[in-house]
Amino acid sequence: MKWLILLLLVPSCLAHLNVYLSVAEVMRLLGLTAELFYVRDGQINVYALNFVVPVPATINELHFTWQSLTRKPLPYTLSAEVKSNSEAMHPPTFNISNEGYVPTEPQTWRVDLPCMRTIAAEVDLTISLNVSTGSSSTTLHFRRKKICLKEAIRPAVRVDSVPHAPTSADIFYAGSGCAGGIILIAAIAAAACRARARKLRRARSDEQDAHAFLPDSSCKSAASYTSYRRPTSLPAVAAEERARDLQQRIAELTIQRCRVRLRSVAMEGTFGRVYRGTYADEEAREQEVLVKTVAEHASQVQVSLLLQEGCMLYGLHHERVLSVLGVSIEDQTAPFLLYPWDAGWRNMKLFLLACRGVTIGGAPGGAPPPPLTTQHVVRMALHALDGLLYLHSQHVLHKDIAARNCIVDENLRVMIADNALSRDLFPADYHCLGDNENRPIKWLALEALTKRQFSPAADVWALGVLLWELTTLAHQPYAEVDPFEVAAYLRDGYRLQQPANCPDELFAVMAYCWAMSPDDRPTLPQLQIFLRDFHTQLTRFV
């Protein structure tokens, strides 16, 4: 109840202030694409303030952004106090003055956390910000737990990547950091919820005025922020709506875990697990679902990736796209992602392998599927193309088109899914090139691989590789090429070889997708026309 009371005490002076962590800062600390508001338009996110944010050993400075939304001067005082293990860290310093006025333009300031490096310790510290107007003043406390190590350590790595070989620093960090990060995700979701609740209140302001600071009762716990919404009832998605940030998506998608029943493990990786199960909605109607989750030993980064990648296709509705149905973050170490499912559906890579008589990753064998004809293959490719065409029309680049990220039903209809957990479930398809980022190297277009440039044309390249996977029944692309050599190999003009039994016309299309310059690759509509024509020709001969 503490935060509720604190919310009631929010003085009106703070109604004209923003204090937040920018997208870049949240990405750096937690690997999430989101802003974290401590104060948004005066509303204090006490939920977020209450959590101790772990600061890994690799990060030695914190950035805060603030802005006064009023033209009246807003005086502040800043201080930082080391609460424990002060022998491990010098007093933190700010790169702005300890007192002054909050600027009316957004300003980012920095807190330096200078570890002494003489001992290893977890240092608890509090950064206090006191803002006053007229007679009243409010103090906000930002609590951090900084990991200090003994020796100098490597510079910060990109946090949006899966750590490959954990260093001692990572292990040290994992114990104290994991829960904190997830709690913060919950806090982000809570903030989004309150922002929405406020909007709602504004809409009904006449009746609600007296209780302007009372939090909506539906926001009390992570489980009940929002009721589950059937995706089919959502209105058509506008492009701008697609751009909503992750926190909003998580808040909107949150469902109660008690409504989910797990039945059997469908796939299992090192830290990721996929279950079949059922979901019961408010009216107790059950539906089949697929559940993606991580094991309890998963790192914070892996959890963040699960949520981020799992929410990638949220809000998109197309018969060739499988998007997430719900999220549960009640268990902070192992969030759930739910997808609509059907008994006959299968992961396309596993399906193709089964066509060859190969099973991997604990996938149930089942009856071997009937042999695939070229006609089947072209039709399946056309389905994937339809899905991708739709994603691009919604201004979404998939960036990881591959058989492993597609679903196929018993009538060989294909859907594109997100790539959450794919790194873990198909480890052979992802590689690190010494940069700690696990990427689908052999599906990436040259410019995506070397310059990290993604465009619709990079998705077209990957679609070409998908076509190759279909015709080879999921052989590994460039099996003989070392991942480190792939860029040079492609630059020298080498490409995947024509699969046996693959008609020349079809291989020509693939090769066209792998043109060096993105501008030289076919567009999806061009590809669609060609594949349709080719499909028609094939049916004519049957």
Q: Which helix (H) or strand (E) holds 306?
A: helix 300-310
Q: Does 126 bind ligand NAG (CB under 6 A)?
A: no
Chain center to CA of 486: 27
Distance CA(80)–CA(91), nearest Å, equals 8
Q: Which is nearer to ligand NAG, 100 or 175 (CB)?
A: 100
Interface size with ligand NAG, residues (CB under 6 A)? 11
Q: Does 108 bind ligand NAG (CB under 6 A)?
A: yes
Q: Which is nearer to ligand NAG, 77 or 161 (CB)?
A: 77
Least separation, in Å, of the C-beta of 129 and ligand NAG?
A: 10
Closest CA to 216 of 69, 51, 49, 43: 43
- Mark the segment that binds ligand NAG (CB under 6 A) among 106-114, 227-235, 270-278, 318-326: 106-114
H runs (alpha helix) in 204-278: 205-208, 239-242, 246-253
Burial class (CB in 10 A: 0-12, 13-18, 19+), 500: exposed
Q: Which is nearer to ligand NAG, 70 or 108 (CB)?
A: 108
User: Which of 109, 213, 454, 489 touches ligand NAG (CB under 6 A)?
Assistant: 109
The label of the residue with tokens 């989750």 reads 293
Residues recognised as catalytic? 400
Closest CA to 263 of 253, 248, 273, 252: 273
Contact by Cβ (8 Å): 368, 362: no
Window 409-428: residues binding ligand NAG (CB under 6 A): none
- Mark the segment that binds ligand NAG (CB under 6 A) among 64-72, 107-115, 169-177, 419-427: 107-115
Contact by Cβ (8 Å): 40, 48: no
Distance CA(462)–CA(510), nearest Å, equals 10
- Mark the segment that binds ligand NAG (CB under 6 A) among 38-46, 105-113, 274-282, 349-357: 105-113
Window 262-291: residues binding ligand NAG (CB under 6 A): none
* Residue 393 CB contacts under 8 Å (≥ 6 apart), including other chains: none
Q: Which helix (H) or strand (E) holds 27?
A: helix 23-30
The structure tokens listed for 345 are 């559906």
- Mark the segment that binds ligand NAG (CB under 6 A) among 130-138, 154-162, 310-318, 359-367: 130-138
Least separation, in Å, of the C-beta of 132 and ligand NAG?
A: 5
Beta strands in 198-314 (DSSP E): 260-268, 272-280, 286-294
Least separation, in Å, of the C-beta of 163 and ligand NAG?
A: 25
Q: Which is nearer to ligand NAG, 104 or 498 (CB)?
A: 104
Q: Which is nearer to ligand NAG, 4 or 96 (CB)?
A: 96
Q: Does 137 bind ligand NAG (CB under 6 A)?
A: yes
Least separation, in Å, of the C-beta of 289 and ligand NAG?
A: 44
Q: Which is nearer to ligand NAG, 109 or 213 (CB)?
A: 109
The structure tokens listed for 433 are 């090139």
Number of residues in the chain: 542
User: Which of 52, 96, 280, 412 touches ligand NAG (CB under 6 A)?
Assistant: 96
Contact by Cβ (8 Å): 115, 146: yes
Least separation, in Å, of the C-beta of 510 and ligand NAG?
A: 47
Residue 349 phi, psi (nearest 5): -65, -45
- Mark the segment that binds ligand NAG (CB under 6 A) among 129-137, 175-183, 199-207, 361-369: 129-137
Q: Which is nearer to ligand NAG, 139 or 205 (CB)?
A: 139
Least separation, in Å, of the C-beta of 104 and ligand NAG?
A: 15
Least separation, in Å, of the C-beta of 100 and ligand NAG?
A: 11
Distance CA(236)–CA(397), nearest Å, equals 19
User: Which of 85, 132, 332, 333 touches ligand NAG (CB under 6 A)?
Assistant: 132
Q: Which is nearer to ligand NAG, 95 or 118 (CB)?
A: 95
Distance CA(8)–CA(213), nearest Å, equals 6
Q: Strand, coil or helix: what is 341?
A: coil
Least separation, in Å, of the C-beta of 99 and ligand NAG?
A: 8
Task: Kindly report each contact of residues 89-92 with a partner whose C-beta sits within 8 Å and lies 24 or more positions away, as own/partner.
Answer: 89/113, 89/114, 89/115, 89/116, 89/123, 89/125, 89/146, 89/148, 90/114, 90/115, 90/116, 92/125, 92/127
The structure tokens listed for 30 are 């937690």
Window 428-457: residues binding ligand NAG (CB under 6 A): none
Window 42-81: residues binding ligand NAG (CB under 6 A): 63, 77
Q: How many CB atoms lie within 10 A of CB 255?
A: 22
Q: Does 130 bind ligand NAG (CB under 6 A)?
A: yes
Least separation, in Å, of the C-beta of 13 and ligand NAG?
A: 11
Least separation, in Å, of the C-beta of 140 and ligand NAG?
A: 10
User: Which of 72, 83, 90, 110 touches ligand NAG (CB under 6 A)?
Assistant: 110
- Mark the segment that binds ligand NAG (CB under 6 A) among 132-140, 157-165, 276-284, 405-413: 132-140
Distance CA(84)–CA(72), nearest Å, equals 38
Q: Does 112 bind ligand NAG (CB under 6 A)?
A: no
Q: Buried b vs exposed e over 212-226: b needs ≥16 C-beta within 10 Å? A: ebebbeebeebeebb
Q: Which is nearer to ligand NAG, 130 or 167 (CB)?
A: 130
User: Which of 12, 84, 93, 95 touches ligand NAG (CB under 6 A)?
Assistant: 95
- Mark the segment that binds ligand NAG (CB under 6 A) among 104-112, 331-339, 420-428, 519-527: 104-112
> Which residues are at the interface with ligand NAG (CB under 6 A)?
63, 77, 95-96, 108-110, 130, 132, 137, 139
